[in-house]
Structure 1
Amino acid sequence: MNLIWSKRKFVLVLSLMIFLTTLMIYTDNVSAANTVTIYYKRGYATPYIHYRPEGGSWSTVPGMGMQDSEYPGYSVATLNLGSATRAEVCFNDGNGNWDSNGGSNYFFDQGVSTYDAGTITIGAPVADYQAPSTPTNLVVSSTTSSSASLSWVASTDNIGVVGYEVYRNGIKVGTSANTTYTDSGLTPETTYSYTVKAYDGAMNVSYSSDSVDAITQAGSTVVKSHPMKLGAVYSPTETDFRIWSPDSSNVKVLVDGIEYTCQRIPDFDGYTGIYGVTVSGDLHLKEYQFKINGIDVRDPYGVMVVPGTNTNVVIDLAQTEPDGGWAARPTLVNREDAVIYEVHVRDFTIDATSGVSAEKKGKFMGMVESGTSYQGVATGIDHLKELGVTHVQIMPFYDFATGMYNWGYDPVNYNVPEEQYAMDSYDYVGRIKELKAMINEFHKAGIRVIMDVVYNHTYSNEMFENIANQYYTGNNDSGCGNAINTGVPMVSRMIQDSLEYWAREYNIDGFRFDLVGIFHYEEYGKWGDHLNNQVFPERNILMYGEPWNGYWADPEEYLKVRMGKMPAVAYGHVGVFNGKYRENIKGDNDGTGTGYMFNNLPSWRDAIAVGARGSIMAVKSTNPLPDNWDAMFAYDPEQSINYISAHDNYDLWDKILHVGIQDMEYAKRIDKFGMGIVLTSQGIPFIHGGDEMLRTKVADGDWTYAHNSYNAPDKYNSYKWNCKAENTDIFNYYKNLIQLRKVHPGLRLTTWDEINNRVDTYTWDNGAVVSYIDDDNNLSNGKELIVVFNPANNIIISEAQGWRKVFDITGANPIDQSNIAEGTAVTVFVK
């Protein structure tokens, strides 16, 4: 009986095993038919794959980290396609750098495929075990007291050399994608030995090159005073760690792995509630982390941070100065002499048409690479020099949160350069030096640099909430939460200190404030007074911002920055964007509403005439105006920033087309007319980057991102430099306008009194605005300039009979020398 049962049991088990095996084979076949395995030849050190089954839902950014594969130099990922037959894929490094096939993404059919530098092949990779040849002719090209620059002759490989490993005294210190490398953070008057190895995509490494010695130069005997009083205040022998902690005495700092207890420091120089400790030794490049009540917090005054963390890094700022020292700051006699140009670091050079070196595209150093062109027209910094602007306003370039493309209005570290724009995010000294070098090169080109700052809010409450509960208002003042409270003296002081740090350490020439309208206007005036009158009185620093908040009904409206509060803070030389003038000229921002440049006259007859006069007050006074939005708000014309478009609304050309203008020649005329008004009005003119060549953010007919492209792909945001080649008439018109403004001081008067006494402005019945201007500052000999804004039919300016027409819709020195001022045009006559 037992034997029979055993046999039956064996048969049953055997049958079950056959069934399970069959089921596994069937399951495997189903799985294989609905998966794709992708081998990725490393372009990123740690690649991520962001994907979806075709037509399905995308993975969460940045996607899935790919694993090391059995093939050297390749990562691998297997994706479940469900019922789909292929996957839609893009790759990234987890820190916001993407390979998305130019926005078109990659498609992989089910099965096994290999990706190599944009090329997809069916099947697994072919193994590569051959190492590159040994690098030769390694030389030291230059040294400073803290760096050594190397170069060598390229290696060869059967597949291709990917990069080079650089060794200092036998220890690997970095890699390079080309045949040069600069090693930073060295000790003065010290000998270092260097070798180089080449490696390929399969991570086969060559033999070491011959060694070469580098001797660093003598260092400065002068210890640079630290620009910060809080944070990590470095010196070569010790570093002070200080943080504001008004709510807790449980303050510690972890420095290079060792924890120190911070003690309350007596109040000094206006600082209260400060805890700190002094740690001995040269702590340059050492990591540190403040802890309050046992919770890790970031240093609000930190000047460097480990990417993606709130761990700060001590920096000897003396090692970050530009090679060769700072160039002279471009001359700016009066703030009204400024012509501002708004630009985004990545957008400016990332397109293939920029002509910028591949490794510098979208980087600080790409902004200032000279000698670039496309189809015979200058691009990049040479374009700006040719255009003639005096200032670049660069959209946020401090450390922001979003790793993918972003405008940067999501700050996390106010005093740290953004790592996406550096050549190497982890080269902390190099990151600072590159930003300083960019600013220095702009200065050498005669262009000052304005920093776009976003102190009004943070990316999240996490930035400050565990330090103290006093940083935030608790309201939605900014429209995106986490609004900063300048009603707290130490919070306002933090902003003032940050501004001074950027101006002092990075030689910044001005600040554009995002949503300055959430701040207390008295604090805004104090910041301006501190920088412009007390610390840097010789610089003519520009300070201006958006005088509105994030659509918040503020119970403290009467205390906040508004157009009507400008007279009360004129002593600080601070101003605002003139939103009233902008709307009267072009109409609404994002809709189809039209304004003066479309011959749609404003309801207030003299609205354009007021803007043309710099929006100066009706009666000169330093008292706040009863109306927060009074169009006649400026105590000084420097307080009115005149503009039509900016980054967060339609480009000027897109606005004109969105309205429905279909006649392209008429559309171009409107464009010229609008910018002509801005550049011949009193105050300070502002140009949104790319308007001078009819830049558009409409890609392939898609208007989705045209008016708010803060996180859109490059194909929408990037400068397409073919636009300049195709619209040289528009570019030349803008260039000639700027030159006209520079030549005639009557277009940039500097005080309320000068405008009141030297400019007579009249609005005609057809809406034309005619200004008669004393250009030579001699009232006894009459007026020498007539500026006409004419939105309607041609008119005759009888007073201009016999005068020279120096500018009209065709540009400078027109052929037509009649006293006719054409419609939809700015015309300028000189006596």
Structure 2
Amino acid sequence: MHTVNYRLALASCLFICSFSTCVQADWFFRGTPNSWGTVALTQTASNLYETCQHFAGGDANGGPRFKIDRYGNWTENYPSADYAVSANTHYKITFNSSTRAISAQAVNHCQDTGFSQVFPSLYFRGTPNSWGTTAMALVANNTWELTVNFDGQANQRFKFDVSGNWATNYGDNNSDNILDQTGADIYQTGTGQYKITVNDLTRHYTVEAMPCTVNCPAQVNRLGAVYSNTATTFSIWSPETGNVAVKVNGVIHNLQAVPDFNGYSNVYQVSVEGDLHLAEYQFLLDGVAVRDPYGVMVKAQTNINIVMDLARTQVADGWATRPALVAREDAIIYEVHVRDFSIDTSSGVSAGKRGKYLGMVEQGTTYNGVKTGIDHLKELGVTHVQLLPVYDFATCDGLPDNDPCYNWGYDPRNYNVPEERYSQTPLDYENRVREFKTMVNEFHKAGIRVIMDVVYNHTYSKDMFEAISPRYYTPTDLSGTGNSIDADQAMVSRMIQDSLEYWVEEYGIDGFRFDLIGIFSHAEVEKWGRHLNNKFADRNLLLYGEPWNGYASDAKEGQRVRYGTTRFMVEEHVGVFNGAFREAIKGNNDGTATAYMFNHVGPADSGWAIYDGLRGSPYNASDSRNGTWFRNFAADPEQSINYISAHDNFGLWDKIYLSLATNVVQNSSHQVLSLSPPANLGYARRIANFGMGIVLTSQGIPFVHAGDEFLRTKTNNQQIHVASAWNHGAHGGTHNTYDAPDSFNSIKWQNKVSNAATFNYFRDLISLRRNHAGLRMNTNAEIAQYLAVARPAEFGGEVVTGHITNPRDNHDLFVVYNSGGNRYVSLPPGSWTQIADTNGATHITGISAVALVEGTAVTVFRKPR
């Protein structure tokens, strides 16, 4: 008796559609002539079905025999024992679906079908059926037909066999669709279902693509696990192998190749019936379990994904109105780490929410009478928070979250899954998603948009994707992390685009900061930006990244994102961090070298980099200095992200403190071996205001690192005066605290009390910017017309001024940067009011012709029209 196991029975259409045929019928013939595949019976009356088959011989399990199968999946079949017949005989087989009676009448070459024929039988043999014998049906005079699934494997091919024993077989020697006896294998490059016909009189054959019609995957518009309450469609890109399956709640289902769709290629799919919300699943490629690159939830510390009905994760009261953003230049970005923001008890955040998504947005928190948390951000006046990585990263995955492990999160593991350590209920998958959405929604209610820091440039290790395809990774490590993602591969680039779209659509994210965007070709980044801005045209999404790689030599250097190629991305609204302006303001990142804000104007620059930065570092096609790293690169001011410090390198206060210290000794890893504290911290605070004052009054988009507004230090327990407190481990420390504990990284909110004057300055300058359109012009042409920048020769580059006459304001502005001592500077004609100085907002009226401006300061004047 022919038997099948229970697991195969559950696979229903998988055997039908992925092995030999995908046909629509009520009853199927299965037996030794077709290697127990499926051939649809022809309905001849309301309850009668027929087929004609040639039984050449038996198989390894017995003589010639057959069964009738109700659904083609062995769940209902007749008779109970295999129906035995004679060898080398043709039989007309009749089945009564009412009585389940079967008859087999010997006939002469199946001529009882009424169709003329030359071949007594015909079998398809090829890679789709592992070169077995699948009987073709005589459907018209001299016309044989079969529907075959091609899975896209390498060198897929086939031939035709008359008797199923290779004695008389046909191929095609000339690729002319005419069969030649013992001819060459016929190659097929497509994927999906194809109808194959053979005329046994003319020997002409055709291969015609056709859609699958029974038990085929539901149409979906993305990969991964696409849920519905009746079935989930599982799809994965597999360019290397056609041996693809998915294990769902312990049951294995084979995937079949599907025709290219929606820009995807080499995709395998299967639909699994039932409501699979919260079901566990893993894709299997050549039997190896792999994670779903499109997975939206994962079982902690595994590569087992979770099916999600995301409709069950909506925020309690519905989505709030997204904060308005008229132009991207209106943005003021605040970079912060979720754990840092509230983990310290001084945050005032409830104990259960500290270091969590919901700790970011708890309202009413204070420390010694000053606002903390989200209320602090509202008071400061920023428009966007940029969250350090909040997708699922590899380190610190111990649960519950009761160990001291810390990480920034630049070690991606699952791009589309919220990090579990920031959830109060990490194993409640629905609520973990809902907490993240609630965080975004509460920021929106507070008038603050949310930017995600995304790390598509590399993964924690190559085993994230390598078992799926080595094509995910570049041949050389461009990220300096052990691997880098190759977005020049079309389906890899599409994965990144789809991930970005998912976060915007599902979580309401308002923009992305790309880690090491410089490993990507600008043409691919343009595709992502174009797609996102077309689909979400009303969002004014912010897209920007680091235009460098991980110190790698790159054969494709000329096509990567660099200062010199940023202009190509202007229509897609993609910008980059302006490291050239940053270093012109402060000097180097991890040492004690100083620049403009320290009253150090080097002869090589003489203030010209500050002059250009104030203008938004505008690109000029006629400038002979243009090149890969030339500082004037922005084809639109929104392309210049202006900043002094970020999570990498020394923060603002630590950089100032170390640069003003004496007897500083650092090793090659930038660790501090010795120092003598600065003599004048008042001057150091003045420098902080000066540097950020330049950022906040320059054209472009300003960026603030969390805590800079109250002189945060990332030395261990804030012992900034002790050399050893600057170091962590063998190489890390204050300049790179990616895995240092909370004692280094957590925000200590008492600093807002002790450095209130600095906070007030940041707040005042942010308010100044938000209230004066002339400080945030929207195009290079507007800047060229309404901003006159000067570098008075008599001050040797120490003074740079900007006269703003933008008609969107009802007044002119005059901005002065003074890197020297107190100076008298000439004002444009008229009566001016001083509205900002080194202490923040001021109001000194009746100034004309000449004004005294303090050194190490930004001074701003206003004149009504």
| TM-score over 0.5 (shorter chain) | yes
Instruction: Choose which of 670, 675, 688 in structure 1 pairs with 2:687.
Output: 670
The structural deviation recorded for 1:247 is 0.6
Instruction: Choose which of 856, 859, 864 in structure 2 pairs with 1:824.
Output: 856
Q: Distance in 1 between matches of 2:637 and 2:619?
A: 10
Partner in structure 2 of residue 61 of structure 1: none
Q: Distance in 2 between matches of 1:273 and 1:245?
A: 6
Question: Which amino acid counterpart does residue 833 of structure 2 have in structure 1?
Answer: R
Partner in structure 1 of residue 767 of structure 2: 739
Question: Which amino acid counterpart does residue 677 of structure 1 have in structure 2?
Answer: I
User: Which deviations, in whole Å up to 9, do the C-alpha atoms of 1:13-38 show, x marking residues without a partner?
Assistant: xxxxxxxxxxxxxxxxxxxxxxxxxx
- SS of 1:441's equivalent in the other structure is helix
Q: Distance in 2 between matches of 1:259 and 1:437?
A: 36
Check the 8 A contact 1:565/1:625 in 2, yes or no.
no
- SS of 1:798's equivalent in the other structure is strand
Question: Which amino acid counterpart does residue 525 of structure 2 have in structure 1?
Answer: Y
Check the 8 A contact 2:819/2:856 in 1, yes or no.
yes
Partner in structure 1 of residue 612 of structure 2: 610
Q: Distance in 2 between matches of 1:620 and 1:538?
A: 34
Instruction: Choose which of 749, 756, 764 in structure 2 pairs with 1:721.
Output: 749
Q: Distance in 2 between matches of 1:227 and 1:751?
A: 40
Question: Is 1:324 matched up with 2:317?
Answer: yes
Partner in structure 1 of residue 578 of structure 2: 578
Structure 1 residues 226, 689: CA separation in 2 closer, same or farther (over 3 Å shift)?
A: farther
Instruction: Give the root-mean-square deviation of aligned CA atoms.
Output: 1.7
Q: Distance in 2 between matches of 1:270 and 1:467?
A: 19
User: Which deviations, in whole Å up to 9, do the C-alpha atoms of 1:377-408 show, x marking residues without a partner?
Assistant: 00000000000000000000000000131000
The structural deviation recorded for 1:619 is 3.8
Question: Which amino acid counterpart does residue 832 of structure 2 have in structure 1?
Answer: W
Question: Which amino acid counterpart does residue 612 of structure 2 have in structure 1?
Answer: V
Q: Distance in 2 between matches of 1:691 and 1:615?
A: 24
Q: Distance in 2 between matches of 1:378 and 1:467?
A: 49
Q: Distance in 1 between matches of 2:622 and 2:615?
A: 14
Question: Which amino acid counterpart does residue 535 of structure 2 have in structure 1?
Answer: V
Q: Distance in 1 between matches of 2:832 and 2:845?
A: 12
Partner in structure 2 of residue 769 of structure 1: 800
Question: Which amino acid counterpart does residue 421 of structure 1 have in structure 2?
Answer: Y
User: Which deviations, in whole Å up to 9, do the C-alpha atoms of 1:308-329 show, x marking residues without a partner?
Assistant: 0000000000001111110000
- TM-score, normalising length: structure 2: 0.68
User: Which deviations, in whole Å up to 9, do the C-alpha atoms of 1:143-169 show, x marking residues without a partner?
Assistant: xxxxxxxxxxxxxxxxxxxxxxxxxxx
Q: Distance in 1 between matches of 2:351 and 2:536?
A: 38
Structure 1 residues 620, 499: CA separation in 2 closer, same or farther (over 3 Å shift)?
A: farther
The structural deviation recorded for 1:802 is 2.6
Q: Distance in 2 between matches of 1:516 and 1:620?
A: 27
Partner in structure 2 of residue 116 of structure 1: none
Q: Distance in 2 between matches of 1:584 and 1:299?
A: 44
Instruction: Choose which of 699, 703, 728 in structure 2 pairs with 1:686.
Output: 703
- SS of 2:233's equivalent in the other structure is strand
Q: Distance in 2 between matches of 1:732 and 1:402?
A: 37
Partner in structure 1 of residue 215 of structure 2: none
- SS of 1:591's equivalent in the other structure is coil
User: Which deviations, in whole Å up to 9, do the C-alpha atoms of 1:602-635 show, x marking residues without a partner?
Assistant: 42231111011000112489xx995111111010
The structural deviation recorded for 1:474 is 2.3
Partner in structure 2 of residue 546 of structure 1: 546
Partner in structure 2 of residue 643 of structure 1: 643
* Unmatched 5+ stretches in structure 1: 1-224
Check the 8 A contact 2:337/2:408 in 1, yes or no.
yes
Partner in structure 2 of residue 84 of structure 1: none
Partner in structure 2 of residue 655 of structure 1: 655
Check the 8 A contact 1:564/1:625 in 2, yes or no.
no
Partner in structure 2 of residue 89 of structure 1: none
The structural deviation recorded for 1:662 is 2.9
Partner in structure 1 of residue 332 of structure 2: 339
Q: Distance in 2 between matches of 1:803 and 1:272?
A: 64
1:380-459 matches, cutoff 5 A: 380-403=373-396, 404-459=405-460
Check the 8 A contact 2:642/2:701 in 1, yes or no.
yes
The structural deviation recorded for 1:227 is 9.6
Check the 8 A contact 2:478/2:554 in 1, yes or no.
yes
Q: Distance in 2 between matches of 1:286 and 1:380?
A: 37
Q: Distance in 2 between matches of 1:712 and 1:817?
A: 53
Q: Distance in 2 between matches of 1:769 and 1:755?
A: 16
Partner in structure 2 of residue 707 of structure 1: 735
For these two proteins, the number of residue pairs brought into alignment is: 601
Check the 8 A contact 1:477/1:551 in 2, yes or no.
yes
Check the 8 A contact 2:832/2:845 in 1, yes or no.
no
Check the 8 A contact 1:355/1:373 in 2, yes or no.
yes
Partner in structure 2 of residue 288 of structure 1: 281
Q: Distance in 2 between matches of 1:308 and 1:250?
A: 26
Partner in structure 1 of residue 838 of structure 2: 809
Check the 8 A contact 1:584/1:607 in 2, yes or no.
yes
Q: Distance in 1 between matches of 2:385 and 2:754?
A: 24
Deviates more, 1:670-679 or 1:794-803: 794-803
The structural deviation recorded for 1:816 is 8.2
Q: Distance in 1 between matches of 2:845 and 2:289?
A: 70
The structural deviation recorded for 1:228 is 6.3
Larger Rg over CA atoms? 2
Q: Distance in 2 between matches of 1:402 and 1:824?
A: 43
Question: Which amino acid counterpart does residue 693 of structure 1 have in structure 2?
Answer: F
1:504-515 matches, cutoff 5 A: 504-515=505-516
Deviates more, 1:812-821 or 1:482-491: 812-821
Q: Distance in 2 between matches of 1:567 and 1:773?
A: 25
The structural deviation recorded for 1:347 is 0.4
1:245-256 matches, cutoff 5 A: 245-256=238-249
Partner in structure 1 of residue 259 of structure 2: 266
Q: Distance in 1 between matches of 2:853 and 2:530?
A: 43
Q: Distance in 2 between matches of 1:641 and 1:793?
A: 29
The structural deviation recorded for 1:821 is 1.5
Q: Distance in 1 between matches of 2:806 and 2:413?
A: 48
Partner in structure 1 of residue 669 of structure 2: none
Check the 8 A contact 1:226/1:234 in 2, yes or no.
no
Partner in structure 2 of residue 758 of structure 1: 786
The structural deviation recorded for 1:763 is 1.2
The structural deviation recorded for 1:226 is 11
Structure 1 residues 366, 620: CA separation in 2 closer, same or farther (over 3 Å shift)?
A: farther
Q: Distance in 1 between matches of 2:605 and 2:684?
A: 25
- TM-score, normalising length: structure 1: 0.71
Structure 1 residues 340, 361: CA separation in 2 closer, same or farther (over 3 Å shift)?
A: same
Question: Is 1:298 matched up with 2:291?
Answer: yes
Check the 8 A contact 1:792/1:823 in 2, yes or no.
yes
Structure 1 residues 438, 777: CA separation in 2 closer, same or farther (over 3 Å shift)?
A: closer
Question: Which amino acid counterpart does residue 688 of structure 2 have in structure 1?
Answer: D
Partner in structure 1 of residue 342 of structure 2: 349
Q: Distance in 1 between matches of 2:856 and 2:220?
A: 51
Check the 8 A contact 1:616/1:632 in 2, yes or no.
yes
Structure 1 residues 444, 777: CA separation in 2 closer, same or farther (over 3 Å shift)?
A: closer
User: Which deviations, in whole Å up to 9, do the C-alpha atoms of 1:650-687 show, x marking residues without a partner?
Assistant: 11011000102431110000000000000000000000
Q: Distance in 2 between matches of 1:610 and 1:228?
A: 46
Question: Which amino acid counterpart does residue 283 of structure 2 have in structure 1?
Answer: F
The structural deviation recorded for 1:542 is 0.1
Check the 8 A contact 2:574/2:639 in 1, yes or no.
yes
Check the 8 A contact 1:614/1:640 in 2, yes or no.
yes
Q: Distance in 2 between matches of 1:817 and 1:257?
A: 80
Check the 8 A contact 1:774/1:785 in 2, yes or no.
yes
Check the 8 A contact 2:833/2:844 in 1, yes or no.
no
Question: Which amino acid counterpart does residue 789 of structure 2 have in structure 1?
Answer: T
Question: Is 1:799 matched up with 2:812?
Answer: no
Question: Which amino acid counterpart does residue 260 of structure 2 have in structure 1?
Answer: D
Check the 8 A contact 1:228/1:301 in 2, yes or no.
no
Q: Distance in 1 between matches of 2:230 and 2:742?
A: 46
The structural deviation recorded for 1:798 is 2.5
Q: Distance in 2 between matches of 1:771 and 1:473?
A: 45
Q: Distance in 1 between matches of 2:220 and 2:683?
A: 53
The structural deviation recorded for 1:473 is 0.2
Question: Which amino acid counterpart does residue 615 of structure 1 have in structure 2?
Answer: S
